[in-house]
Amino acid sequence: MSAQFATFFVADLFFGVEVLRVQEVLRFQQMTRVPRAPDVIEGLINLRGQIVTAVDMRRRLGLPAREGDQTPMNMVVRTDEGAVSLLVDEIGDVLDVEETVYERPPDNLDPAARELIRGVYKLKDRLLLVLDAERTVDLAVGKVA
């Protein structure tokens, strides 16, 4: 059994989501900020007439902010709540990975990240973290009081 993942980078982490979940990938879009919104919400973008909420993955994972002029990329994923854009540092390739190298995430992972990572594929040169898109866009998950 193998699965296909669209991959991306957030800080030094290498993530993947099921390729069928990905609606499209866009470079950085102009965004409308939403005052009083949760911190992880970067803003709203107009995706051909559809209003899509953008979630900053760095903040979602409790990572430090992007440096200086580095603009994030939009990875628009389909979820039960409609399309949501994940703001990531960089887009990677689409990878075919074997089930055999799959493992549950380690227990000592940072709680902010563990809630959102479904498992780990041990690739030859690096680890591919499988992002749980549904939980990622459900802001109630992994909320640290």
Partner 1 sequence: MQDQEVIREFLVESYENLSRLDQEIVELEKHPKDTVLLGSIFRTFHTIKGTCGFLAFNTLERVTHQAETLLSQLRDGERELRPALVSLILETVDATRKVLASVEATGEEGSEQFGDLTARLRAAAQAKDQFEAAAPVAVEPPHGNGSAEASEKKPEEDAAKSSAVADSNIRVGVGLLDKLMDLVGELVLTRNQILQYNNDREDAALNATSQRLNLITSELQEGVMKTRMQPIGMVWNKLPRVVRDMAVALGKQIRLEMDGAETELDRTIIEAIKDPLVHLVRNSCDHGIETPEARVRAGKPAEGRLTLRAFHEGGQVNIEIGDDGKGIDVARVKQKAVDKGLVRQDQLDRLSDREILNLVFLPGFSTAETITNVSGRGVGMDVVKSHIEKIGGVVDLFSRPGEGATVKIKIPLTLAIIPGLVITSGNQRSKPRFGAGTGERFVIPQVSLVELIRLENQVANSQIERIHGTPVYRRRGSLLPIAYLNDILDLVPSRESTVVNIVVLQAEDRQFGLVVDGINDTQEIVVKPLGKQLKGIDVYAGATIMGDGRVALILDVLGVGQRSGVLSESREQARSSTEQKSQAGSEQQRLLLFRAGSFERLAVPLSLVARLEEFPQSAIEHAGGGQVVQYRQRILPLVSLRAVLEPGGSAGGELADPVQVIVFNDGDRSLGVMVDQILDVAEETVTIRQKTNRAGMLGSGVVGKQVADFLDLNYVIRAASADWFQANGSQPSAGKRILVAESSAFSRGLIRSGLDMEGYHVLEAANLEEVIRGLEQHAVDVVVTALDLPPDGSAAVLDAIRRRPEWRGIPVLALADSPEQVAEQVNHRAGQQVEFQDCQVKFDRGAMLESVARLASALDLAETHSDELVGAGDRS
Q: What is the contact surface with partner 1 in residues (CB under 8 A)?
A: 30-38, 41-46, 49, 51-53, 55, 69, 71, 81-82, 84, 137-139
Phi, psi of 111 (to 5 degrees): -55, -35
With H, G, I as helix, E, B as strand and everything else as coil, classify residue 113: helix
CB of 44 to partner 1, least distance (A): 4
Question: Shortest approach of partner 1 to residue 29 CB, angstroms?
Answer: 10
Task: Give least dist CB 51 to partner 1, A.
Answer: 5
Q: Nearer Cβ to partner 1, position 18 or 138? A: 138
Between CA 138 and CA 133 the distance in angstroms is: 9
Tokens of 16: 């993947």
Provide the CB-side half-sphere exposure for 66 (13 A, CA): 17
Closer residue to partner 1 in complex, CB, 33/104? 33
Judged by beta carbon, residue 4 or residue 71, the one nearer partner 1 is: 71
DSSP state for residue 110 in the 8-state scheme: -
